[in-house]
Structure 1
Amino acid sequence: MLYPWALRAFHGAAATEGLTLVAGAWLAVAFALPLSCLALALSRAGQRSVATRRLAFAGLAAPPLFVLTGVLAGLLHSPVKDVWPWSVLWIGLGLATALGKSAGTEHEPRSWPRLRVAHGVAAVLILLFVAFHLFNHLTGLLGPDAHARLMKLGRVVYRSPFVEPVLMILFLLQVLGGLAMAWRWSARPLDVARAIQVGSGAYLAAFILTHMNSAFVSARMVHHIQTDWAWATGAPDGLLRDAWNIRLVPHYALGAFFVVAHLVCGLRQVLLAHGVRRELVNGLWGAGLAGAAALSAAITAGLCGLRL
């Protein structure tokens, strides 16, 4: 609930001379609020209650969900600022969780092996696009022109009449299958690695739906604008100086982190299932998460204006 208010506080401090450190602190709070939901899922309350655990995973997805709220409010020309329905919704969800009956947590979730295999196969197919997309955003550190040149080459393939619809279908299937598995897995207490896997999946489901709505519906169908570097970075105001655009900073940063983190968590499960030593697997997993954080920081810095 508090996430958009931290962003508003950042914008107020950033617009005031001499409050740069205060603005930075508020931005850190905005990042910490959704991430703290992972701690809630792993806490005693989260371990005891299925509803609390699932609410925590929904809270982790606050950045893309708040972007979706803002885009939908704009499409509907809502006279009410998006922070108000957002706050009312989360207060309602919190009260419902607190007052509702605690569901049991001891049953073993169904494994759905075919769904897991299909989810993994689709992920491999999507991985080529995701890897290119992340690398393309990294070139933003070299400037908009470098980003545009590489994107133009990539779009010859992924915007072709055959590939683009297939990609959209694959992403939607990943969302549906991933949410089904997350719902099942969240029915029992989770360890840290599994909580990150389920939580990152919930975040990515919200991110994919939000990104599709923003790019295909709002930008391309309604407003007829190019989804290029200027669109992604909120030009001409940029991401850091505009009251609406600031919500895109955690949205992008955590999106880049969680897409890699989710893949790393999935790889961890595969390696363990094939008998690889747990110590080695956990070391690779930790290195993968660190790499995801570094990649996210670099991409976000480029989107915010850093140039090499």
Structure 2
Amino acid sequence: MPPATTVSITHDPFDALRRKLIGLCPAAAAIGYPFLLQAFHAAVSPSGGSLSGVRIAGAAILLALAFAAPLSGLVSAVWWTAATQPSQSDLRARRLAYAAIAVPPLFVFVGVLRGYAVNLLGLPVSDIVVWIAIWLLAGAAVWSGGDQPALERTTRTTGTLRVAHGVSAVLITFYVLFHLSNHLSGLIGPETHAAIMKAGRAVYRAPLSETVLVLALLFQAASGVRLAWHWSSLRTDAYRIFQIGSGAYLAAFLLAHLNSGLIAARHVYKIETDWAWAAGMPDGLIHGAWNIRLLPHYALGVFFILAHLASGLRGVMIAHGTEVTTANRVWSAGLIGAALIATAIVCALCGMRI
């Protein structure tokens, strides 16, 4: 990725209005995200039981648009980071763009919280209404930002936190690689997945191991948010923007996944977190009205986990004297591999077997 181009801030009131409207685009995309998923579900679930070519094509377009919603946040972050003298409103718009990248896990998180409200408290809450309200408030925060120049911070304040973040990432990586390999085994069949998972759980579900792992995951999410908040105030290149954006997604993904698997499934509803749970059985990820939100959640989750690791590796390589061109090639190969693995895992969860 080339460095972001420079954009100057003008004091033209019409330009200021235009920039504020552009700043609301990530919030608008986030608000439309659930409706794209609902439309996709309606397209692939005809009452007659058969799918026409037109419906399949329409469903593919709707699903592509649903994936484009969070990815548009990444594009918006690149655009906003180009400002040479960002105003307070511009900085809020930039951070809103980063938050919008995490739309899929945030929507899952809101959906699980809605389940608590309805099933445990008896409150008739609509997750769509809550979702729209959240992003309207976020948009209002951007709109109310002032035109005063935003104060750009130095990078020296995050050195210790960055090291701690990297150390915890090394610990978590061992679990992540096993976990993703376990999900890849679903291409062979749920039985193979269950056998590998049983062997792994003997280690990572031991009381001490699980406690350390959960604490490391929570620290990774919290430190990632802190680092993303700091770096989002700085002018930087597109590689760093991608690293910040993928980190924002992962922070939300970790919280949503821990909430769904550890709290909701295991401790609240007493559900076994096996292959059937992950695949949303019996309806499946595609044909389940609620489960469809898990499709981009999982796909982008796997992609950004591996892509974020590739971004970190690129930084380490450059810091240790590797040529930037070589480090960039390794990073690009990492993103391609991440996309392929994410596709394979989602295909397995949707029923594909080899």
TM normalised by structure 2 equals 0.84
Name 1:266's counterpart in structure 2. Answer: 312
Moved over 6 A (4+): none
Give the Cα–Cα distance (whole angstroms) in 2 for the partners of residues 32 and 46 of structure 1: 21
Q: Pick from 32, 36, 40: which aligns with 1:6?
A: 36
Deviation at 1:177, TM superposition (A): 1.1
**Native 8 Å contact 1:46 1:52 kept in 2:** no
Letter of the aligned partner of 2:193 in structure 1? H
Letter of the aligned partner of 1:55 in structure 2? L
Name 1:72's counterpart in structure 2. Answer: 113
Alpha-carbon RMSD across the aligned residues, in angstroms, is: 1.4
Give the Cα–Cα distance (whole angstroms) in 2 for the partners of residues 82 and 106 of structure 1: 36
Name 2:295's counterpart in structure 1. Answer: 249
Name 1:40's counterpart in structure 2. Answer: 76
**Native 8 Å contact 1:138 1:302 kept in 2:** yes
- 5 Å-filtered alignment, 1:37-186, equals 37-44=73-80, 47=83, 48=86, 49-77=90-118, 78-102=123-147, 104=150, 106-186=152-232
Structure 1 residues 50, 44: CA separation in 2 closer, same or farther (over 3 Å shift)?
Answer: closer
Structure 1 residues 290, 100: CA separation in 2 closer, same or farther (over 3 Å shift)?
Answer: same
**Native 8 Å contact 2:183 2:345 kept in 1:** yes
Structure 1 residues 190, 4: CA separation in 2 closer, same or farther (over 3 Å shift)?
Answer: farther
Deviation at 1:45, TM superposition (A): 7.4
SS at match of 2:284: coil
**Native 8 Å contact 1:40 1:46 kept in 2:** no
**Native 8 Å contact 2:110 2:131 kept in 1:** yes
- 5 Å-filtered alignment, 1:227-306, equals 227-306=273-352
1:17-47: CA deviation from partner (whole Å, max 9, x where unpaired): 3211111111111000000100000114774
Structure 1 residues 95, 152: CA separation in 2 closer, same or farther (over 3 Å shift)?
Answer: same
Deviation at 1:109, TM superposition (A): 3.3
Name 1:226's counterpart in structure 2. Answer: 272
Name 2:25's counterpart in structure 1. Answer: none
Structure 1 residues 108, 231: CA separation in 2 closer, same or farther (over 3 Å shift)?
Answer: same
TM normalised by structure 1 equals 0.97
**Native 8 Å contact 2:81 2:236 kept in 1:** no
Structure with max Cα Rg: 2
**Native 8 Å contact 1:34 1:63 kept in 2:** yes
1:144-195: CA deviation from partner (whole Å, max 9, x where unpaired): 1111011011000000111001100111111111111111000123321101
1:192 aligns with 2:238: yes
**Native 8 Å contact 1:50 1:188 kept in 2:** no
Name 2:5's counterpart in structure 1. Answer: none
**Native 8 Å contact 2:80 2:93 kept in 1:** no
Give the Cα–Cα distance (whole angstroms) in 2 for the partners of residues 149 and 45 of structure 1: 47
Give the Cα–Cα distance (whole angstroms) in 2 for the partners of residues 107 and 296 of structure 1: 36
Name 2:24's counterpart in structure 1. Answer: none
Q: Pick from 11, 20, 26: which aligns with 2:62?
A: 26
Deviation at 1:108, TM superposition (A): 2.8
Give the Cα–Cα distance (whole angstroms) in 1 for the partners of residues 141 and 165 of structure 2: 32
Deviation at 1:114, TM superposition (A): 1.4
**Native 8 Å contact 1:63 1:250 kept in 2:** yes
Structure 1 residues 24, 105: CA separation in 2 closer, same or farther (over 3 Å shift)?
Answer: farther
Letter of the aligned partner of 1:50 in structure 2? L
SS at match of 1:174: helix
